[in-house]
Structure formats: structure tokens, C-alpha cells
Amino acid sequence: MKVAPRITQKIAWVALWVAAGIALVALLLIVGYVLVRGIPTLSWQFVFGSTTGGGLRAPIVGTIYMVAFTLLIVVPLGVGAAIYLSEYAPRNRLSDFIRYSLDGLAGVPSIIFGLFGVAVFVAILLKTTCILAGALTSACLSLPFMVGAAEEAIRAVPQSQREASLALGATKWQTIWHVVLPTALPGIITGVILCAGTVVAESAPLLATSGYSAFVPISPLDGCRTLSLHLFYLATEAPSVGGLTRQDLISRAMGVGAILIVIVIILNFLMRWLSQRYIAKMTGGR
């Protein structure tokens, strides 16, 4: 029996809306539950107090350090690799192998990167767990996403802009620096914020590389505890910290989860705002 095209279209439309609705409801339930449970636990003392006294000062500073050092490592490497792959590398087996390897790395479980970080950065290079070891490990984890986002943004730049720049006498590098990269900047910013969100959310690669310290770090060679690691600590490894009950610890963990959700939301809005502002600037506000 042949189904009419209009009926098939309606069935597909309903199925897609149901799927989207289920995903949206699940997202709202998870986010809403964490925010409802976590926001009442937030206070000035809890957020900015000493970590040894139950506050989040050290995890917040540690998260800032970890994101900053990771981006300092991954952004130049990722954008440089993207420029090479999209502008210089010929289309051959080597470039195809590099792209295939990056796609494969993007699918590797994060705990594998943590084991690699322990074996290379902690045991061989730095001889200690610290912020720099965690940042190098996070950079390895984030590099495929940074390269992919930057390469897609660079490839989206119209070829006519490159040809116009070259026709005016600019060199290939001048064309890339003054024409291609400014045009691709919104996509590159998206990759940067995606990497920042990945670092904020990850805990497995940092568990054995960042040092897990409860004190405010001062230098890159100090240990640190990020917010996600502190949440893991409260939820699973601290049944009797400071005489608190299990319910108190879960409530504090929910508070940390609420802060993480707010950070992710802020990063997403920041990404959209920066992209829209730059696009408006490039188009003269049209």
C-alpha cells in the first residue's frame, strides 16, 4: 500500500517534533533539577570561602588557571594546524591521514588522555602533578575540536576574497592574515569557547594530572582542583568531611553543579554575542 506524500510529510514532521520535544524536556528536567537543588546552597561564604572550610575559592581559581593555560596551548596549535590543512597542505594521503587521525582523537574517551598525561607529562616531563600537566593533557583532549572548528571556519571563507587579495599583489600569508583569518574569526571564536567549555566540564583527564590540591594555586607548577573535580570529590569521596552529613555534601555538590551550568550558559551566550558583534562590525552594522 502506497502512502501519500503529504501523509508521509506529516508523519515525519510529527516524529521530528516529538524527538525534539523529548530532548528539550530531558534537558530542562536535568538543568532545572540541579538549579533548584543547588541555588539555595549558594552563598558568599560558600562560593568565595576557603576550600578547607567548605568554600570554592581554590576550585574557582584552579578552573580559571586551567582554562587559561589550556587555551594558551591549544589555540595557537589548533589554528596553525587548521591554516596548514586548509591553505597549504595538498590533498593527498598525508593530509587525509592527518584529518582521519584528528577525527579519531575526537572520539577517544577522555580517561585515555588522562592516562597519557600521567605517563608523559607527569612521569617524564614535569615529574609532578600540577596545573601545567593538566593543561597539557586538556590541550591534547581539546586539540581535535579546535582544529575542526578553525578549519571549517577557514574553508567557509569565499575563494573570491582570496583571489581578490592575491590579485592586488598580496602574498599568500598576507592574504591569510589580513583577509582569511578576520573573516573566519567568528568560527574560530566558537572553537575557542567550545574548548573552554570542555576544560570546565572535564574531570577524568585532570584527576591524576592536576594535583587535586585544596589550596589556591600560585604558579603553573602548583597543584589545583577544578570545579568539576571538586564536585566529584563532594559527591563520591567525602562521606565525613567536617562532620557533614551525606545529604549536606550532596547539596553542596548540587551547588557546584549549578555554578557549572551557569558558566556553560554564560560561555554559550558569550560565543553568540562575540560572533554577532564581529559579523555586524564586518558588515558595517547592516
Residue 90 Rama label (left phi>0; alpha psi -120 to 50; beta):
beta
- Angle of CA points 141, 143, 147, to nearest 5°: 150
* Position 156 in a domain: yes
**Domain annotation covers residue 3:** no
The verdict on residue 60 lying in a domain is yes
Note the pTM of the prediction, 2 decimals: 0.85
192: domain CATH number is 1.10.3720.10
| Domain residue limits at 216 | 40-282
What is the Cα–Cα distance from 144 to 81, expressed in whole angstroms?
Answer: 10
Number of domains composing the chain: 1
Alpha carbon distance 246, 190 (integer Å) = 39
4 in any annotated domain: no
Question: Residue 215 falls within a domain, yes or no?
Answer: yes
Compute the distance between CA of residue 202 and CA of residue 205 in angstroms, rounded to an integer: 7
Digit-by-digit pLDDT tens for the chain (286 residues) are 555 677 888 888 889 999 999 999 999 999 899 888 888 888 888 888 887 777 888 899 999 999 999 999 999 999 999 999 998 888 888 888 888 888 888 888 888 999 999 999 999 998 889 999 999 999 999 999 999 999 999 998 999 999 899 898 888 999 999 999 988 988 898 889 889 988 988 888 898 898 888 888 888 999 888 999 888 888 776 555 556 677 778 888 888 889 988 888 888 888 778 777 777 766 665 5
- Residue 138 is assigned to a structural domain of this protein: yes
User: What one-character-per-residue DSSP string does 219-280 give?
Assistant: STTS-B--HHHHHHHHHHS-TTGGG--HHHHHHHHHHHHHHHHHHHHHHHHHHHHHHHHHHH
